[in-house]
Amino acid sequence: MTGAVPDPLPGWLAEARRITVLSGAGVSTDSGIPDYRGPNGVWTRDPDAEKLVTLSYYVADPEIRRKAWRMRADLRAGDVRPNAGHRALADLEAQGRLLALLTQNVDGLHQAAGSSPELVLELHGTVHAVECLSCGDRTSMDSALARLDAGEDDPACAVCGGILKSATVSFGQALDERVLVAAAEAAADCDVFLAVGTSLVVYPVAGLVEIAAAHGARVVIVNAEPTPYDGLADLVVREPISAALPRLLGTA
């Protein structure tokens, strides 16, 4: 089934008690954070912007690093708050129906909306911390941006002088194996797997849909554009996420 949120909801969805959610950039667009691959996405409009989050370019080119730091400083200036989609997922947890919230987003908006950090698995890391690529020392993003404000345009690690980067997973950088294993377990253990606002083209995360389906879960996809897994889904919703999620999850 593809289209609008069905009314009434299918019984298997309304009665689900172990829902695992995979969220992507589309969940945060209504908070003013642009997505990446959509028609108006960051990389669609400016393919060179992808270099800012590609590890090989970041390490090799100081100008790429300077641009990345300027981007982080600009994003800090925005008034970014959770939207109705984030709040619907927090409400789902309050109902006792959320097994796990797996997110490809690095913005921390799920936690800001009230989702328990214990249930949120940040598959691609977080933008609220920075990490040294040499020694692994980890500090806050605010402390790094304060150094930018003081005049540094490519701050180095204060411990070893190595390259600092936001604690996010860049292209060419491996995901945390422990986080990925926990995500796979949550996909295998749910009765409904909800993929929302994600293009489902980045692996191994996209493969979580197959894991869920192979273990008997119903699959729901909420995304503006078609995904490679629409044919596997029991329900595909094309409505705007902030409007659709509260109705889909019975949290409106």
State the catalytic residues.
Answer: 124
State whether the Cα torsion 137-140-143-146 is positive or negative: positive
> Assign residue 138 a region: left if phi > 0, alpha if psi is -120 to 50, beta otherwise?
beta
Spatial CA neighbour of 193 closest among 164, 213, 214: 213
250 contacts 14 by C-beta, under 8 angstroms: yes
Q: Residue 153: phi, psi to the nearest 5?
A: -105, -10
Q: Residue 89: phi, psi to the nearest 5?
A: -70, -35
Own/partner pairs, 229-236, CB within 8 angstroms, 24+ separation: 229/195, 229/200, 230/2, 234/1, 234/10, 234/12, 235/1, 235/6, 235/10, 235/13, 236/1, 236/2, 236/3
Report angle CA 239, 13, 6 to the nearest 5 degrees: 40
Spatial CA neighbour of 180 closest among 199, 216, 206: 206
Residue type, 52: L
